[in-house]
């Protein structure tokens, strides 16, 4: 049950004889910011009055007269210039709690018209350790995937790996020059990581050696790697064989981290997958007159002030624009995507703007293409986050530190938990903290990474949500309640205490929050809701005894609110890819 939608419906009915187009007033009914204005407010009398040439307060009065909603609303009040303040009936709200209690989907209806989404996220370069730069794409993309699926959409996740670029030249070079056979036998995945890091170091040294030269001298190691990459792309038998041999190991290295983050992809079609299609794509774009030759390269001109997009370089190599075009075609023709979401750094905005324009010219205009932008991760100094040595922070090291810090907190606060459970809780809290901190931020802004803020037990953090869940579950444990059996019962709910009512109002808003989050692909709408739920729960927990309630019926009534709180918090967190343990 989505209360906003219900209200919109009733107001639309009330407006049929008044407004030319009642649909034009959608979005003017919303939860109030201040509860002295009621629970919801309808702000449509002002614009409607303007349209009708009447006084706003008169229109408000007429709307209220025509409105048929006393089955769930108190009599509406008109305030100020023509605000209509709406208050839900207590008995109706209590009744809703009972329905929610027996609803596995916690009030969320599946969308009437499911769409087919393809979500492109994470997309790291293989053969190269993942670093913080991949964090946001991976976490935000996964959250969107979960949110859209829960709403009933068909979702395909596709990890568009960078598996065909220069980093593979580096690996091949490393393999040929520095391979440790023994290490390869015992742990090939680790050997791949070692080779990559080794070659990267060699390139750095070679570069440093030539730094004094006046001219920027060619870096011999880097040059050797480029050569190996070129040979791979030309189809050199040995390099292709090495690529095929090494790919699974590189994939395994990525999978380890994805598993730890609880992230899964339906498809992993990297750049290499589209390699055979690239010449055809360019041919077609030339044939259609979209691409032209310029300065020895094949390019597409887009606008007066825009640089052209390159689809084939003068040395004959294709660009990632070409690959991305082939990828769109695949997603449109094979996956039948209605919408493709690219969860990618805002710095690539121009690339996607060009890509989408070209795709439309190419004839793929029936598919909605969206660049889901996000800002950079910054250090506390406001600069892009780096290690002390100036390198990129590796994702795994970051996760390790988060878990380690969480472990310390768990040991301090819950010494009674067995060591193994402490470990599991620390993992959930640490990883959850990293995810939640990222998701709770408006994705379009840059985000300042702070351990203290992330792992704080107070405020809008993952740990606070997890703690709220643990406190609820603790009540059931202390009360010796067999939850599964107990949930089969039917318990009248009363909302006499103000904190009970506040909590119920939050519990009923999951559908609104989900819609908001899915509408603009903004997971922070979801975290914001979880905070708006956990907060009144904490107050309720403080002020309303549950197990020691005055009567058995009040106890059960409150248990229903508790159970709903933990279920919605757990579900909400799950939709963000965050696990909430039963105890912490």
Partner RNA sequence: GCCCCCGUAGCUCAGGGGAUAGAGCAUCGGUUUCCUAAACCGAGGGUCGCAGGUUCGAAUCCUGCCGGGGGUACCA
Within residues 341-370, the interface with RNA by CB under 7 A covers 346-351
What's the token pair of residue 129?
């350790």
Residue from 112, 235, 382, 390 touching RNA (CB under 7 A): that is: 382
Judged by CB under 7 A, how many residues of this single chain contact RNA? 97
Measure the CA–CA gap between 519 and 420, rounded to whole angstroms. 41
Least distance from RNA to the Cβ atom of residue 114, Å: 26
Burial profile 333-364: b = 16 or more Cβ within 10 angstroms, e = fewer: eebebbbbbbbbbbeeeebbebbbbbbebbeb
DSSP codes of every residue in 145-171: HHHHHHTT-EEEEE---B-SSHHHHHH
* Choices 201-209, 364-372, 373-381, 482-490; region in contact with RNA by CB under 7 A: 373-381
> In terms of CB distance, is 191 or 501 closer to RNA?
501
Residue from 2, 85, 145, 239 touching RNA (CB under 7 A): that is: 85
**Vertex 299 angle, CA 293 and 303, to 5°:** 115
Least distance from RNA to the Cβ atom of residue 351, Å: 6
Measure the CA–CA gap between 270 and 123, rounded to whole angstroms. 8
> In terms of CB distance, is 334 or 547 closer to RNA?
547
* DSSP state letter for 347: G
Measure the CA–CA gap between 25 and 39, rounded to whole angstroms. 19
Return the residues of window 261-290 that contact RNA according to CB under 7 A: 271
Return the residues of window 288-347 that contact RNA according to CB under 7 A: 294-297, 299, 305, 307-308, 310, 313-315, 317, 319-320, 323, 346-347
Residue from 542, 550, 551, 552 touching RNA (CB under 7 A): that is: 542
Least distance from RNA to the Cβ atom of residue 441, Å: 5
Least distance from RNA to the Cβ atom of residue 56, Å: 7
Q: Look-up: residue for tokens 């390159």?
A: 310
Least distance from RNA to the Cβ atom of residue 409, Å: 5
* Contact call for residues 38 and 28 (beta carbons, < 8 A): no
Give 496: exposed, middle or buried? Use CB within 10 Å, 0-12, 13-18, 19+: exposed
Return the residues of window 90-149 that contact RNA according to CB under 7 A: 125
Residue 207 engages RNA in binding (rule: CB under 7 A): no
> In terms of CB distance, is 189 or 516 closer to RNA?
516
Residue 566 engages RNA in binding (rule: CB under 7 A): no
* φ, ψ dihedrals at 14, nearest 5°: -65, -25
Residue 409 engages RNA in binding (rule: CB under 7 A): yes
Helix axis angle for 498-507 and 523-543, nearest 10°, is 160
Measure the CA–CA gap between 475 and 240, rounded to whole angstroms. 60
Residue from 88, 221, 246, 525 touching RNA (CB under 7 A): that is: 525
Residue 252 C-alpha from the chain's centroid: 24
Residue from 210, 336, 413, 553 touching RNA (CB under 7 A): that is: 413
> In terms of CB distance, is 113 or 383 closer to RNA?
383
DSSP codes of every residue in 40-84: EEE--HHHHHHHHTS-HHHHHHHHHHH---TTTBPPPEEETTTEE
> In terms of CB distance, is 191 or 522 closer to RNA?
522
283: Cα within 13 Å, side-chain hemisphere: 5
> In terms of CB distance, is 38 or 577 closer to RNA?
38
Least distance from RNA to the Cβ atom of residue 329, Å: 16
* φ, ψ dihedrals at 569, nearest 5°: -60, -45
What's the token pair of residue 529?
């809701």
Q: Is 109 helix (H, G, I), strand (E, B) or coil?
A: coil
Residue from 447, 491, 521, 529 touching RNA (CB under 7 A): that is: 447
* φ, ψ dihedrals at 133, nearest 5°: -60, -25
Least distance from RNA to the Cβ atom of residue 366, Å: 25
Residue 458 engages RNA in binding (rule: CB under 7 A): yes
Least distance from RNA to the Cβ atom of residue 314, Å: 4
Residue 43 engages RNA in binding (rule: CB under 7 A): yes
Residue from 267, 451, 486, 531 touching RNA (CB under 7 A): that is: 531
**Vertex 248 angle, CA 243 and 249, to 5°:** 95
> In terms of CB distance, is 300 or 510 closer to RNA?
300
Binding mask 213-252 for RNA (x = CB under 7 A): ----------------------------------------
Q: Is 30 helix (H, G, I), strand (E, B) or coil?
A: strand
Measure the CA–CA gap between 171 and 129, rounded to whole angstroms. 13
Query: Which of 24, 74, 30, 79 lies closest to 56, judged by CA?
Result: 79
* DSSP state letter for 307: P
Measure the CA–CA gap between 211 and 218, rounded to whole angstroms. 10
Residue from 79, 154, 198, 424 touching RNA (CB under 7 A): that is: 79
Least distance from RNA to the Cβ atom of residue 311, Å: 10
Residue from 475, 481, 497, 574 touching RNA (CB under 7 A): that is: 475
Residue from 80, 248, 280, 489 touching RNA (CB under 7 A): that is: 80
> In terms of CB distance, is 96 or 123 closer to RNA?
123
Residue from 207, 240, 528, 574 touching RNA (CB under 7 A): that is: 528
> In terms of CB distance, is 157 or 322 closer to RNA?
322
Residue 529 engages RNA in binding (rule: CB under 7 A): no
* DSSP state letter for 539: H
Measure the CA–CA gap between 447 and 451, rounded to whole angstroms. 12
Residue 539 engages RNA in binding (rule: CB under 7 A): yes
> In terms of CB distance, is 245 or 442 closer to RNA?
442
Residue 374 engages RNA in binding (rule: CB under 7 A): no
Measure the CA–CA gap between 89 and 491, rounded to whole angstroms. 19
Least distance from RNA to the Cβ atom of residue 533, Å: 12
């Amino acid at each position: 049950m989505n209360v906003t939608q219900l209200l919109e419906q009733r107001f639309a009915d009330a407006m049929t004889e008044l407004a030319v187009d009642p649909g034009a007033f959608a979005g003017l009914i919303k939860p109030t910011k201040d509860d002295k204005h009621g629970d919801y407010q309808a702000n449509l009398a002002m614009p409607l009055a303007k349209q009708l040439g009447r006084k706003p307060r008169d229109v408000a009065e007429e709307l209220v007269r025509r409105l048929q909603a006393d089955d769930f609303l108190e009599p509406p009040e008109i305030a100020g210039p023509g605000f209509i303040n709406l208050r839900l009936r207590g008995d109706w709200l209590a009744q809703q709690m009972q329905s929610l209690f027996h609803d596995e989907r916690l009030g969320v209806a599946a969308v009437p018209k499911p769409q087919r989404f393809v979500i492109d996220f994470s997309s790291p370069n293989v053969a190269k350790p993942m670093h913080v730069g991949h964090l946001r794409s991976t976490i935000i993309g996964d959250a969107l995937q979960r949110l859209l699926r829960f709403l009933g959409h068909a979702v395909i996740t596709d990890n568009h790996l960078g598996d065909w670029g220069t980093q593979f030249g580096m690996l091949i070079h490393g393999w040929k020059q520095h391979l440790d056979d023994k290490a390869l036998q015992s742990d090939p995945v680790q050997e791949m990581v070692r080779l990559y890091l080794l070659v990267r170091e060699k390139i750095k040294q070679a570069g440093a050696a030539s730094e004094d030269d006046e001219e920027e001298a060619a870096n011999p190691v880097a040059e050797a790697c480029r050569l190996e990459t070129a040979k791979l792309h030309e189809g050199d038998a040995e390099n292709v064989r090495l690529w095929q041999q090494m790919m699974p190991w590189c994939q395994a290295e990525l999978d380890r981290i994805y598993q730890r983050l609880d992230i899964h992809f339906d498809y992993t079609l990297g750049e290499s997958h589209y390699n055979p299609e690239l010449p055809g794509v360019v041919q077609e774009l030339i044939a259609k007159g979209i691409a032209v030759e310029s300065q020895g390269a094949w390019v597409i001109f887009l606008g007066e002030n825009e640089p052209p997009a390159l689809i084939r370089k003068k040395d004959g190599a294709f660009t990632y624009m070409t690959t991305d075009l082939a990828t769109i075609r695949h997603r449109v023709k094979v996956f039948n995507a209605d919408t493709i979401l690219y969860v990618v750094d805002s710095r690539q905005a121009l690339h996607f703007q060009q890509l989408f324009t070209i795709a439309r010219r190419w004839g793929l205009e029936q598919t909605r293409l969206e660049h889901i932008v996000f800002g950079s991760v910054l250090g506390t100094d406001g600069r892009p986050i780096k290690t002390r040595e100036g390198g990129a922070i590796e994702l795994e090291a970051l996760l390790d530190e988060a878990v380690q810090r969480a472990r310390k907190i768990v040991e301090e606060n819950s010494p009674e938990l067995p060591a193994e459970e402490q470990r599991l809780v620390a993992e959930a809290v640490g990883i959850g903290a990293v995810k939640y901190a990222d998701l709770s931020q408006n994705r379009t802004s840059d985000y300042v990474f702070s351990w203290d803020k992330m792992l704080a037990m107070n405020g809008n953090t993952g740990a606070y949500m997890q703690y709220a869940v643990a406190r609820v579950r603790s009540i059931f444990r202390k009360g010796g309640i067999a939850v599964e059996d107990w949930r089969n019962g039917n318990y009248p709910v009363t909302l006499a205490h103000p904190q009970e009512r506040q909590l119920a109002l939050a519990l009923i808003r999951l559908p609104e929050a989900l819609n908001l989050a899915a509408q603009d692909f903004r997971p922070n709408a979801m975290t914001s809701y979880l905070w708006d739920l956990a907060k009144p729960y904490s107050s309720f927990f403080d002020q309303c005894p549950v197990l020691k309630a005055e009567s058995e019926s009040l106890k059960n009534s409150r248990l229903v609110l508790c159970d709903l709180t933990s279920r919605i918090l757990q579900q909400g967190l799950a939709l963000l890819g965050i696990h909430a343990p039963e105890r912490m």
